[in-house]
C-alpha cells in the first residue's frame, strides 16, 4: 500500500460569519491509499479551533503512513494508533473507500446499512443583520429545515427576521459556544416562543457543568462538546442531541460507533461537517442515514461547483455516486 496526501484550498461563494469569526474558505487535506492499482480516497478539514491546521495534519499523516504501507496497521488498528483528529479521518475514509473497491462491495454493504437515495438536509443562515437575514430567508421557502447561526449583536432580531418570512419551517440555532449560562437562560424561553426546537452548543465545552443550572426551555445539542464515545457520559442530562462530525470523531469508523453508543444512551442524533468537497460529504452521508437532523449543506455554498460532489437541491441531499467514493 502507498499513502499520499496533499492540501488544497476550498473557497466559499460568499463569506460566512459564525460566532468565532468569518470564513471565506479553508484548507482541506486529501489522502489517497493505493494498493495494486486500486485507489481509496478521503478528505478532512482541520480547524484552528481544535488546534489543527493543514500542515500539522499532513505531518501526522506522514508520520503514520509507513505503518500502514508495511501492513503493521489497518483501518481498525489505526483507531488506537492515532488520536481522533482530522488526520485520522482522512486516512480512515480513504481506507473505507479502498476496502469497498477491493472487495467489490459498497461502503453501505460493508457497514451493514441501507443506502437511501436522498436525505432531508437543512440550509444554514450565517450571522447577518436582521434585514439581510430576512432577505436571505425569503429565498429559502423550499427548504425543509433552517439552521440559524447566533452569537452576534442581534440574535433575537435575527430569529424574528426568519420567522417573519418562514413562520412554520423547522428551525434550530447554532451558537458555536458563544454564550454564557446567563445569556442562555435568558434567550431560551424567547427562542421556545419562536418555535426553535434546538440550540446547538450554547456554551464553551469547558463550561458544560454549568448546564446543570440551565432552565431547559429548549433542547440542546452538543457539537464542540462531543468528539467521540468517551464524551458521552458527561453529556448525559445536559444535552439531548449529539452532533457527529467525522473530523471530530477521527473518521467514519468511530463516527458509526459513536452513533450506536449515543442512541443506546438515549441521545438523538445529528450529523454535521466542516468545510469540504463531495469527498468529505459522502462518508458524512452514510452517518446521515442514521440521523434525525442533517446539517450537510456545504455543497450549496462552495465557490467552485466542481467541489460540491454531492447534490443538494435546497431541500434534500442526494446519494453520492460510487465513482466519487465508497
> How many angstroms separate the CA atoms of 324 and 304, rounded?
16
Q: Are 10 and 26 in contact (CB under 8 A)?
A: yes
**Enclosing H/E stretch for 232:** helix 232-235
- Annotated catalytic residue: which of 2, 7, 118, 245? 245
> How many angstroms separate the CA atoms of 103 and 69, rounded?
19
> How many angstroms separate the CA atoms of 244 and 21, rounded?
22
Q: Is 101 a catalytic residue?
A: no
> How many angstroms separate the CA atoms of 305 and 214, rounded?
42
Q: Give the residue carrying C-alpha cell 509507513.
A: 66
Count of beta carbons in the 10 Å neighbourhood of residue 190: 15
> How many angstroms separate the CA atoms of 281 and 308, rounded?
9
Q: Is 248 a catalytic residue?
A: no
**Enclosing H/E stretch for 288:** helix 278-288
Q: Are 32 and 40 in contact (CB under 8 A)?
A: yes
DSSP string, 133-185: HHHHHGGGTT-S-EEEE--SS-HHHHHHHHHHH-SSS-EEEE-TT---HHHHH
- Annotated catalytic residue: which of 101, 147, 149, 248? 149
Active site residues: 149, 245
Amino acid at each position: 500500500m502507498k499513502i499520499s496526501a496533499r492540501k488544497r484550498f476550498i473557497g466559499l461563494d460568499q463569506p460566512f460569519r459564525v460566532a468565532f469569526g468569518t470564513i471565506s474558505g479553508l484548507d482541506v487535506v486529501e489522502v489517497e491509499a493505493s494498493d495494486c492499482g486500486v485507489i481509496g480516497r478521503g478528505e478532512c478539514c482541520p480547524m484552528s479551533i481544535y488546534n489543527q491546521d493543514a500542515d500539522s495534519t499532513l505531518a501526522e499523516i506522514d508520520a503514520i503512513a509507513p505503518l500502514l504501507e508495511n501492513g503493521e496497521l489497518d483501518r481498525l488498528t489505526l483507531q488506537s494508533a492515532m488520536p481522533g483528529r482530522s488526520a485520522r479521518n482522512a486516512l480512515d475514509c480513504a481506507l473505507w473507500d479502498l476496502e469497498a473497491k477491493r472487495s467489490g462491495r459498497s461502503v453501505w454493504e460493508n457497514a451493514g446499512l441501507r443506502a437511501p437515495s436522498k436525505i432531508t438536509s437543512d440550509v444554514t443562515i450565517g450571522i447577518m443583520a436582521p434585514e439581510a437575514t430576512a432577505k436571505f430567508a425569503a429565498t429559502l421557502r423550499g427548504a425543509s429545515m433552517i439552521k440559524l447561526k447566533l452569537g452576534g449583536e442581534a440574535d433575537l432580531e435575527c430569529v424574528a427576521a426568519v420567522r417573519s418570512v418562514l413562520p412554520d419551517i423547522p428551525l434550530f440555532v447554532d451558537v458555536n459556544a458563544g454564550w454564557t449560562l446567563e445569556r442562555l437562560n435568558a434567550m431560551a424561553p424567547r427562542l421556545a416562543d419562536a418555535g426553535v426546537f434546538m440550540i446547538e452548543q450554547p456554551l464553551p465545552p469547558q463550561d458544560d457543568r454549568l448546564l446543570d443550572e440551565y432552565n431547559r426551555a429548549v433542547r440542546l445539542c452538543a457539537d464542540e462538546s462531543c468528539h467521540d464515545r468517551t464524551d458521552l457520559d458527561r453529556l448525559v442530562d445536559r444535552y439531548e442531541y449529539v452532533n457527529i462530525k467525522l473530523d471530530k470523531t477521527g473518521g467514519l469508523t468511530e463516527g458509526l460507533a459513536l452513533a450506536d453508543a449515543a442512541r443506546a444512551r438515549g441521545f438523538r442524533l445529528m450529523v454535521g461537517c466542516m468545510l469540504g468537497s463531495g469527498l468529505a460529504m459522502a462518508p458524512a452521508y452514510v452517518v446521515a442515514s442514521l440521523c434525525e437532523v442533517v446539517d450537510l449543506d456545504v455543497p450549496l455554498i462552495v465557490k467552485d461547483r466542481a467541489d460540491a460532489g454531492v447534490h443538494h437541491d435546497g431541500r434534500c441531499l442526494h446519494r453520492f455516486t460510487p465513482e466519487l467514493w465508497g
